[in-house]
Chain A
Amino acid sequence: MSALIEFRDVCKTYHMGDTVVRAADHISMQIHKGEFVAIVGQSGSGKSTCMNIIGCLDVPTSGTYLLGGQDVGAMDKNELAAIRNKMLGFIFQQYNLLPKLTLLENVEVPLMYAGVPKAERHERAQLALELVGLGDKLKNKPSQLSGGQQQRVSIARALVGEPAVILADEPTGALDSHTSREVLAMLQKLHDAGNTVVLITHDNSIAVQAQRIIRLEDGHVVYDGDAHAPEAVVQPTLAGNGGTAV
């Protein structure tokens, strides 16, 4: 079976003044359908770059990124928008809900851009919100909700389009430990239901919730394997510089 997500020698370089930053330096990896993978790394390790490329928000400078067998690098902005809409469900650290819309309308947004008719949109968005336990707050605004509840709305929004990959970028970064556990349990549930989940985090204790860990450092993959192996959480260079989450 071919991989759902495949990086072939992916490089991404940025120019910051005169210096060239290699955010992704010849990364190759594969993620298969139904996996629960955590991409772990400190600030500056290249995990955000990886997340942007996986999420089709950015394209590699060189190398190939295949999503569901399609070469994303060759796509223009509108094709990227279409593939994000169809293939990916985003969960952000800051929830990124639209403050003026109700929860139902927020969850409907991806379906709206997919051109789903209004009645079907309502129904599917309502089901997704019920799934995350917010079926009674359809008409509320995000500002009336706690952080954990808002993140559940964003999970519902990620789910509603039935994407191939659910991409969670530091989903617990803004939450306390109790609600963090709730959110992680929910991701686990999604995985159990057969979804492919890619979790991006700097926090090892969060990363171990996944099946498999891909550890990045300075744009290289330094570990790729079972999340429960001892090496998975060891940081080879002991970069104790207290890098903070981005």
Chain B
Amino acid sequence: MSFLETFQLSLKNIWGSKMRTFLTMLGIIIGVCAVIVIVGLGNGMQGYIEDSFDQLGTDSLTVMIMGRGSSRSVSEEQMYQMVEDNGDLLKQLSPSVTVGFPLKIGSDTITSTTVTGVSEDYFSMKGYEIAQGRGLQYTDIANREKVCVIGQYLNLAYYGGNAVGQTLRIGPNAFTIVGVMAAETDDLEEGGTDDCVYLPYSTASRVSSMGTINSYVVTVWDKDRIDEAKLLVESQLYSIFEDDDAYSVISMSEMLDTMNSMVNVIIYILAAIAAISLVVGGIGIMNIMLVSVTERTREIGIRKALGAKEGAIMRQFVIEAATTSALGGVLGILAGFGLSSVATVVIANVLEEALTVRPSVGAVLLAFGVSTGIGVVFGYLPAKKAANLNPIDALRYD
């Protein structure tokens, strides 16, 4: 009796008791479906994170100067020189000075706004566009002008869209708004990307009374060479400080990798929990196969009397269990894909985030393989029981 014939026989037996088979498969179906949706959700989250990081710029490095453990320091001229000297790799540089004073517009004090001192190149480095007025200019920086460019959120929320020419206060100083950035995100919200004020870095460093600039953003020409650029900046800084605790260079793509591996760990843990359902499903299959062996004792006796060897009986029951389980796996995969599309729609509507739940081919193959394997493993015991039946007793069984 060939494998194919045994398989056909088991399909016939499964079809003969549809309801029972379906209920038996339910554990496997739920388990496979859950694994596929969870892995799909993980893929979606990774895609979402990647998109978010793309906005932040995976072509940029953040350089932090701590100066710790060293009496030496680095000036912005040195930093500009470094970029210029390595023009084949490094594209642009901007200091980035975080201003600690709260922002005041009229009588309102606004704490959610990010106030940063940057160079005139910063907007092109980040891909920000100016919607009204002008951006920062070299002369603003050279003369330490008290001007600023604000985000669209502040423009609409506090100035009714006519911010250019008005003033705002940062700490004790008044600044004239010279430009408004185009909206960066669809939903302008408090504390978001569009809730920001940019000043000339020279002015910012003076108003915050910091001696040196302690943070820079550097962009590269080719984002695939970001690791190379990071090494270069690090070695340049090392030659100045001769102490690698004095500075830190962070690349967005590195952070992205870290985030991705964190998401992966979470997904693997969730998938493992979902996989417990597969084991439960396997036990369900074993249970029903044991019942089936008892019910079909007479059939087994007849087959043995007619010349079936133990191996043939064994094969029949193992293949039947594996077929049941694999069929459950296929249904689970279909259910998983269905649920993934539903989840994508639900996330889009409820959370208003574009997160596509994307089941991976690997997860599908794995789920199918594991469910078939479970059938074989949990089908073994009942099959062994069937194969070991004594034909005389089995024939007499009612």
Contacts and interface: CB of A to CB of B under 8 A. Distances in A.
A84 B299 contact: no
A52 B312 CA distance: 22
B298 interface: yes
A58 B12 contact: no
A110 B307 contact: yes
Contact of A109 (B16, B298, B306, B311): B306
Chain B contact residues: over half helix, strand or loop, or mixed? helix
Interface stretch (A65-73, A74-82, A171-179, A203-211): A74-82
B110 interface: no
B12 A100 contact: yes
A85 B392 CA distance: 15
Nearest to B5: A112
Nearest to A113: B307
B1 A113 contact: yes
A92 B12 CA distance: 25
A55 interface: yes
Interface in B296-314: 298-299, 301-312
A82 B392 contact: no
Interface string A88-131: 00101000111010000000011011110010000000000000
B217 to A, nearest CB: 74
A210 to B, nearest CB: 22
Contacts of B309: 77-78, 81-82, 113
Contacts of B298: 96
Q: Bin the interface of chain B by size.
A: 20 to 34
Contact of A57 (B12, B311, B391): B391
A67 B13 CA distance: 36
Interface in A158-212: 161
A181 to B, nearest CB: 26
Given A82-B309, A84-B306, A157-B306, A100 B13 contact: yes
B398 to A, nearest CB: 9
A22 interface: no
Contacts of A58: 392
A82 B307 contact: yes
A81 B304 contact: yes
B188 interface: no
Contacts of B13: 100
A161 B306 CA distance: 10
Contact of A85 (B299, B301, B306): B306
Given A100-B16, A112-B5, A81 B395 contact: no
Of B301, B303, B305, most A-chain CB atoms within 10 Å: B305
Nearest to B306: A110
Contacts of B304: 81
B105 to A, nearest CB: 83
A86 interface: yes
Contacts of A96: 298, 301-302, 305, 395
A86 to B, nearest CB: 7
A197 to B, nearest CB: 17
Contacts of A109: 302-303, 306
Contact of A114 (B5, B12, B307): B307
Interface in B277-329: 298-299, 301-312
Interface in B340-398: 391-392, 395
A142 to B, nearest CB: 12
Given A57-B392, A109-B303, A81 B1 contact: no
A157 B302 CA distance: 12
Contacts of A110: 306-307
A81 B299 contact: no
A169 B304 CA distance: 16
B234 to A, nearest CB: 72
A161 B326 CA distance: 35
Given A92-B395, A96-B298, A113-B1, A78 B307 contact: no
B1 A112 contact: yes
B16 to A, nearest CB: 6
Nearest to B17: A100
A110 B308 CA distance: 8
Contact of A84 (B1, B307, B312, B395): B307
B323 to A, nearest CB: 16
A159 to B, nearest CB: 12
Interface in B1-30: 1, 5, 12-13, 16
A82 B308 CA distance: 8
Contacts of A52: 392
B392 A81 contact: no
Nearest to A52: B392
Contacts of A118: 5
B306 A113 contact: yes
B306 A78 contact: no
A98 B299 contact: yes
Contacts of B301: 96
A110 B1 CA distance: 10
A96 B296 CA distance: 12
Contacts of B16: 100
Contacts of B391: 57
A157 to B, nearest CB: 7
B320 to A, nearest CB: 13
Contacts of A97: 302
A66 B357 CA distance: 70
Given A110-B306, A114-B307, 8 more contacts: A52-B392, A58-B392, A81-B308, A81-B310, A85-B307, A92-B395, A98-B302, A113-B308
Give me the 3 closest cross-chain CB pairs, A-B, nearest first: A85-B307, A113-B307, A81-B309
25 contacts: A55-B305, A57-B395, A58-B392, A77-B309, A78-B309, A81-B304, A81-B308, A81-B309, A84-B306, A85-B306, A90-B305, A90-B306, A96-B301, A98-B299, A98-B303, A100-B13, A109-B306, A112-B1, A113-B303, A113-B306, A113-B307, A113-B308, A115-B1, A157-B306, A161-B307
